[in-house]
Structure 1
Amino acid sequence: MSSPSDRTRLIASATRRGFGRRPVNPPLERASTMLSDRAEAMRDDADGPVYGLDGMTAARELRAALAGLEGAEGAFIVPSGLAAVTVPVLALTRPGDEVVTTDAVYGPSRRFLSRYQAARGVTTRFLPADADAETILAAAGDRTRLVLLESPASLTFQMVDVAAVAAGCRARGVMTVLDNTWAAGLAFKPLAHGVDVSVQALTKYVGGHSDLLMGGIAANDPRCLSAIANAIEDMGWHVSPDDAWLALRGLRTLPLRYAEQGRSGLKIARWLQARPEVSRVLYPPLPGSVGHDLWARDFAGAASLMGVVMKGGNEAAGRRMLDALTLFGLGYSWGGFESLATHETHQMAYRDHPPALEGELIRLHVGLEDPDDLIADLERGLAAFAG
């Protein structure tokens, strides 16, 4: 019998037998202090967590489900998607080390590397956003301890040959961390492609309802897992039981939501690419778009987050477009059930190697609304952009 799909396994972990009569979802336990019957058992974790920081039932089931999804020996949860990036970077680097990444790394991750890590003696080399595997590996020097990747990259959606980078880094004794939020642990499996640590913002697709903040970290190597566990313990990172319960609930329906939003995203991307107001759509699943060949080779699905490069315009035109939208919410983050739009041109100024864009950069997240209704909404927005 073949192994079940992610769609089946994420639900089967809730309906497995051998535990007696019980609710489908675990109980919601709010606790800081855990009581023991005897003094000698107070430090014995065989009876369960000894303190609330260790995580209650929902947190433990969520970690187990994420490990299964990622194909990992172990998984951790932390209070935000940013923490999912910063914790392994902190755990795996020391003063004097170097991190190699690209200009398109998630903005708050870049800030952490440039401000917090730099002040503690860990330097970062930012390569152009379109750097290929050979360029990334060539940049890794004697001091390079870690390569931080995103594929697709933030805002401009460049793809990288992750397996080639991971293999080259491993041969050099360099660790790799991949922010896999766009693929949500579903469409791409970093650990199976040789990456040391896979991270994602569970805030996004896993939560799915824009009502929690959380990050996930997954790895296989025992030394790597131990270093990450120690960092989490030393810094006191903890996820509330309420948020863990919500994320676990969202995880059960993740494959269905992700697939449906991906279908709508591709339909809208194709429509946008044919519009006269649009120069190009930055969406790897779209044939002819940035990184399409790598996406088609390595990915089993698509998120619904994309960039839209307009033909000309200015900040005022970008704001007119967003203000004319009535179905797309104006707000940051993505991965929830609702569609969102943001104006991102100003973010290019923070890059060491700003890309050449033909016009304003709009980011769209396609939710679960009817895509035809969203297209009609975007038509209003494009008319306003044209002024």
Structure 2
Amino acid sequence: MTHKDAILNAAGTNTRLAHLGNDPASYHGFVNPPIARGSTVLFPDARTLVAEDQAYTYGTHGTPTTDALCDMVNSLEGSAGTILLPSGLAAVTVPFLAYLSAGDHALIVDSVYFPTRRFCNTMLKRLGVEVEYYDPAIGADIETLIRPNTRLIHLEAPGSNTFEMQDVSLMTSIAHAHDCVVTMDNTWATPLYFKPLDHGVDVSIHAATKYPAGHSDVLMGFVSSNEKHWQKLHDANRDLGLCVTSDDAYQVLRGMRTMGVRLEHHRKSALDIAQWLEGRDDVAQVLHPALESFASHDLWKRDFKGSSGVFSFVLKAPEGRFREKSHAFLDALSIFGLGFSWGGYESLAVPVSLRDRTVAKGPTDGPLIRLQIGLEDVADIKRDLEAGFAAAALA
């Protein structure tokens, strides 16, 4: 370990984000690593060409630029290795393909990201994997669902759209007693607010499209593994041939330099707005883990260092009028864009459907609307939401 490494290991989050993943002395003093574009790598002689200890052999196996990003992520996660993938969904599906085989049984949290459920219900089942969904609040009772052929338990905390927390340490300890690999989608918190591997998770998953990239212009996923499960993940990704471009890796590396500052702004603004919504008569419920009223708030408070900018609320509406009220609210917004994804600089709003749920049904007392609170001024965001509530009242 170099002197600088020792200093960074003890430094604060923003200091680490500013300096991890680069060694200016290796690149003529330039602050940022260069973008190494290319597929073919040339070797000086035949002996080197056939050697198996070369740092770089072909573009799909990594470049100095992608390695710089992986090094940063490994430092933040405390992981043995990280792979970079072309989307957040690929960051979920590649570990499933790495660790599951025909005849295996997988337990997937019912509040999972919908495209993950779609992959499980189509591709995994076609490949002979049995998928079973469980309630995010199951806790110790997860053991009752584990079978002799259960190989993987997938967590997502908070859950997509309804933000249920999970007792990660408890569930991983039970899973490991039965020799199950534990994967977790940690996109909402990032490793700045929650480090899955420190809580027993084997494989940490992120849609880097969100907060790491931060500007709604890059698609990418991170998968970081502990030592025990790293080789199998690495080999599966090598065999699948998935990779990212150095240009995109550079963009995400640049985004991560400011992720700590951005995430804190998202956190403060979103919590302010969530508390404001909670006091409104036209809101039936606010689903934000950092609110004391939230059902699994105590788990969030115990395990997480912060909250991010995404949460949902239930709009009060008479039965049979959910769609009209929701659409009127959304169509009246100006600062909020109507679009999927989140984690960028701009505020977004989408209506949420929970029809895919099998166990954890979620709220039913009004239309569910998910908000991504961007970097705009809170006063302006509130005025925009006021316009939405006014329109919904007239619908």
For the criterion TM > 0.5, the same-fold answer is yes
Instruction: Judge conservation of contact 1:284–1:292 (CA < 8 Å) in 2.
Output: yes
Q: 1:45, CA displacement in angstroms? A: 5.9
SS at match of 2:355: helix
- 1:1-387 residue pairs with structure 2 within 5 A? 3-13=10-20, 16=23, 18-19=25-26, 21-44=28-51, 46-128=53-135, 130-222=136-228, 224-312=229-317, 313-344=321-352, 347-353=353-359, 354-387=361-394
Instruction: Kindly report structure 1 stretches of 4+ aligned residues shifted beyond 6 Å.
Output: none
How many residue pairs end up in the alignment? 383
1:64 and 1:268 map into 2 onto residues whose CA distance is 36
Letter in 2 for 1:151: A
Normalised to the residue count of structure 2, the TM-score between the two structures is: 0.94
Cα separation, partners in 2 of 1:120 and 1:70, compared to 1, 3 Å: same
Report the alpha carbon displacement of residue 17 of structure 1 after superposing the two structures with TM.
Answer: 6.2
For residues 44-102 of structure 1, the C-alpha deviation after alignment (integer angstroms, 9 at most, x for no partner) is: 46553111111212100000100011111111111110111111111011111111122
Instruction: Output one character per residue of 1:214-240: Cα deviation in whole Å (capped at 9) or x when no partner.
Output: 100111124x11111111111110101
Q: 1:47 to 1:126 in 2, by over 3 A?
A: closer
C-alpha change, 1:7 and 1:137, in structure 2 (3 Å) is: farther
Is the 8 Å Cα contact of residues 26 and 58 (structure 1) preserved in structure 2?
A: yes
Contact 1:102 1:131 in 2 (8 A): no
Instruction: Note the C-alpha offset of 1:290.
Output: 3.2
Residues 155 and 184, structure 2, Cα contact 8 Å, conserved in 1 = yes
Instruction: Tell me the equivalent position of 2:4.
Output: none
Name the aligned partner's letter for residue 248 of structure 1.
L
CA RMSD in angstroms, aligned pairs only? 1.5
Q: Distance in 2 between matches of 1:146 and 1:93?
A: 7
Q: Would the aligned equivalents of 1:43 and 1:50 in 2 still touch at CA under 8 Å?
A: no
Q: Quick one: distance in 1 between partners of 2:52 and 2:215?
A: 34
- Aligned 8 A contact 1:157 1:290 in 2: no
Q: Alpha-carbon deviations, 1:286-318, whole Å to 9, x = none?
A: 121232111111100111100111112411211
TM-score (normalizing by structure 1): 0.96
Identify the range of structure 1 (2-11 vs 56-65) with the bigger mean alpha-carbon deviation: 2-11
Change (3 A) 1:20 1:309: closer
Unaligned runs of 5+ in 1: none
Amino acid of the residue matched to residue 253 of structure 1? T
Q: CA deviation at 1:131?
A: 2.8
- Decide whether the 8 Å contact of 2:212 with 2:255 is kept in 1: yes
Task: Quote the Cα distance in structure 1 between the aligned partners of 2:243 and 2:170.
Answer: 35
| Partners of 2:197 and 2:14 in 1: CA distance | 19
Letter in 1 for 2:193: A
After superposition, the Cα gap between the structure-2 partners of 1:282 and 1:201, relative to the gap in structure 1 and judged at 3 Å, is same
Q: Structure 1: how far apart are the matches of 2:52 and 2:186?
A: 32
Q: Percent identity, aligned pairs only?
A: 40
